[in-house]
Amino acid sequence: MTLTHWIGIDYGSKTSGNTVICHHDGQVLQFYDADRRDADAFIIRFVEQPQSSSIQHVFIDAPLSLPGVYTQQQGCTNFHYRQCDMALKAMSPMFLGGLTARAMELRQTLTTKHALSVYEVYPKALAQLELKNQYHKKLAKIDFPNLCDLLTSKYPSVLFNEYPRHQHQFDSLLAWLSGYRFIHHQHQIIGELSEGQVVI
């Protein structure tokens, strides 16, 4: 499988402009920022364009399932958190509400209409693993070259024409890197298959 076969997505609210796709063009990683109209339509248009024909997998930073109690999963009693959320200290899919519903609908569209595999990722967990305390949610543009160089030293395929310009681009890079680890069998799986799993 080549580096062009998957994308990483930092997923934001529908009209915020904070959704970013990270994709390797065969030479370097590129970042594509959504407009402020419809992030979901932006993602679908991206995978439908001719130059995206090699894409087979999507790694998205968004909950793709609800706590198992809502589908009567045996042993699931928590109405707010899945096992993977508790293990990662992640936000509740229920608190995210509309974003979770949109992500689940988007996954259905991408899998049924575009034959893509869609996986949930959590960039913060990968950053804590690879970058330790150098990663936080208030990174500035000046921070990204050093952080990216650290990632490139561990993952030589992480190459850029331009470094990320803002946090959402950097988080989409971490989503893409979660995909890289998955494809190369270097990843961790958090959570139960029946309820929802996160690729790290």
Torsions phi, psi for 12 (to 5 deg):
-120, -175
On whether the 3-61+110-190 domain is CATH 3.40.50, my answer is no
- pLDDT surpasses 90 at 137: no
CA distances from 171 to 1, 22, 109, 114 (A): 23, 9, 23, 24
pLDDT in tens, 61-102: 999 999 999 998 888 999 999 999 999 999 999 999 899 999
Q: How far apart are CA 51 and CA 188, in angstroms?
A: 30
How is the chain split into domains, by residue range? 3-61+110-190
Pairing of strands 6-10, 57-61: parallel
List, for residues 13-60, the tens digit of each pLDDT value.
999 999 999 999 999 999 999 989 999 999 999 999 999 999 999 999
Q: State percent of the chain over pLDDT 70.
A: 100
Whole-number Å distance between alpha carbons of 157 and 159: 6
**Structure pTM?**
0.96
Average pLDDT, the chain: 96
Q: Determine the average pLDDT of the residues in 124-133.
A: 96
Note whether 82 and 71 are within 8 A (CB): no
Nearest Cα neighbor of 77 from 67, 85, 87 is 67
